[in-house]
Amino acid sequence: MEFEVSYHLDNEQQFWDELDDIVAAQCQSHGHIDDALRSYFAFVANYKGDYLHTEYDIARCSLKLLESVLFSAHQDYVRRQIIYSLLEEDSPDTLHLIVALLLFDGRDNEVTFEMMNEAGIFPRLAELIYERKDDNAGLHRMLLELLYEMSRIQRLRIQDLIQIEDDFIQYLFRVIEGLSDDVNDPYHYPIIRVLLILNEQYMVSAHDPGPDQAPTIKVTNKVIKTLSTHGTAFKTFGENIILLLNRESETSLQLLILKLLYLLFTTPSTYEYFYTNDLRVLVDVMIRNLLDLPLSARPLRHTYLRVLYPLLAHTQLKHPPHYKKDELLRLLTMMTASGGVMEHHFGAVDETTKRLVGRCVCVPWLKIGEHPEPTGEEGNAKAGTRKLLDVEIPGGMASSLSVVEVTTQKERPGVITGSRQRDEDQGNPDLEAGVMTTTQEKSPFEAEGEA
């Protein structure tokens, strides 16, 4: 984009004042809008090195346009012009601003991300992430965020998804390995989220194909393929997704992690991708989360149970010493209890929970009967769970059903999963929408006299 007007600025305030004048232009035609946008991009790119030193400055610059009369009066046209600019622009400084505009606008208006998908922006973003990785760290991170945000609210076009090369996926894994072990590193989270959303897109394509996907088109899940063939070289990724599941409160991100874990634990070549100690940490996280989820989070609880079965049945955890066997059995039996504190904690037992718990207790090393018979409420729960062992679950059918259910489980971005413990700590059990508890209750483990 050529810089058409000459400016002489003495200080930063003059820069912001001039930018206000540019975005305040009254445009009566598409030609006038194009001129104003060219002036905006050229002016900002020309002075970026002088006055835009932080991500905050880039965001402020973007909001100047997004909150202007120029944008509000011609939103659809301006969005399309910015999207087309992303397809053609090569200057890192201008690209940084274009990407910021699309990211901030799309977060408030999903129509922007939908327009990007229709215009075939996804391959361009992947290209920029891979080929322009050395241009600017802030631009690279924002490209990752934009690809993630536009991909998580919609199904990507199949013709775009099949353009992803193995080299691109392996590059993302290598970046994670090359960074520090600190999950708070500013690059860790955006790259991990891109890999998680790509895995989900592959799953959707395979198990819930859209109307535009011909039956003959089969898309290889290149995230799983990479971990199947090079998993030993990319262990840091596995460690980090367990850490993220441990701390993540956004439901959609928990689901993304669980979907990847499900595939890893149901794909023979990745059964033992994780270190054994990391699997034990994962068991602890899953026990805690299954106990902590509010009554309203039943679909998420089902997804945890769908992941728990292959985790226990297929990974190194099946070998002695069996980690947390008693705690797992106690949790599973409590989840099928009727009446009393157990039902108050988990709610009325639905048929899906019964079926999923029944599958988990069929794991050979979890078989009930090797311990003294309990009495009272836990005894009733365990007796009910034992009955589930008599329910025959055809292996192929169960697997097929679960992968579809896991694939299609969705939640709107930004929805936070309720937490019984967090609500108790904050002294407000009704803080999270949909949490039905009205008193501060103890963990069922504590109710039994155990911490």
Per-residue DSSP letters for 334-374?
HHT--SHHHHHHH-SPPHHHHHHHHHHTTSGGG-TTSSPPP
Predicted local confidence at residue 400, as pLDDT:
60
Residue 448 burial by Cβ neighbours in a 10 Å radius (0-12, 13-18, 19+): middle
Residue 278 burial by Cβ neighbours in a 10 Å radius (0-12, 13-18, 19+): middle
Predicted local confidence at residue 6, as pLDDT:
56
Predicted local confidence at residue 211, as pLDDT:
73
State which H helix or E strand residue 389 sits in. none
CA torsion 180-278-355-289 (nearest 10°) is -70
Q: Cβ contacts of residue 128 below 8 Å, gap of 6+? A: 95, 143
Predicted local confidence at residue 29, as pLDDT:
94
- From first to last of its 451 residues, the chain has per-residue pLDDT tens of 444 455 677 788 999 999 999 999 999 999 999 999 999 999 999 999 888 989 999 999 999 999 999 999 999 999 999 999 999 999 999 999 999 999 999 999 999 999 999 999 999 999 999 987 776 888 999 999 999 999 999 999 999 999 999 999 999 999 998 875 555 565 678 999 999 999 999 999 888 777 776 767 788 999 999 999 999 999 999 999 999 999 888 889 999 999 999 999 999 999 999 999 999 999 999 999 999 888 888 889 999 999 999 999 999 999 999 999 999 999 998 888 765 555 566 667 788 889 999 999 999 998 755 444 444 444 454 444 444 434 333 344 345 666 777 777 777 777 777 666 655 555 544 433 333 333 333 443 443 433 3
Rg, C-alpha atoms of the chain: 26
Q: What is the pTM of this model?
A: 0.84
State which H helix or E strand residue 94 sits in. helix 92-108
Q: What is the largest CA-CA distance in the chain?
A: 86
φ, ψ dihedrals at 416, nearest 5°:
-100, 130
Q: Cβ contacts of residue 259 below 8 Å, gap of 6+? A: 196, 199, 200, 203, 406, 407, 409
Residue located via tokens 């991909």? 151
Distance CA 170, CA 124 (A): 18
Predicted local confidence at residue 422, as pLDDT:
58
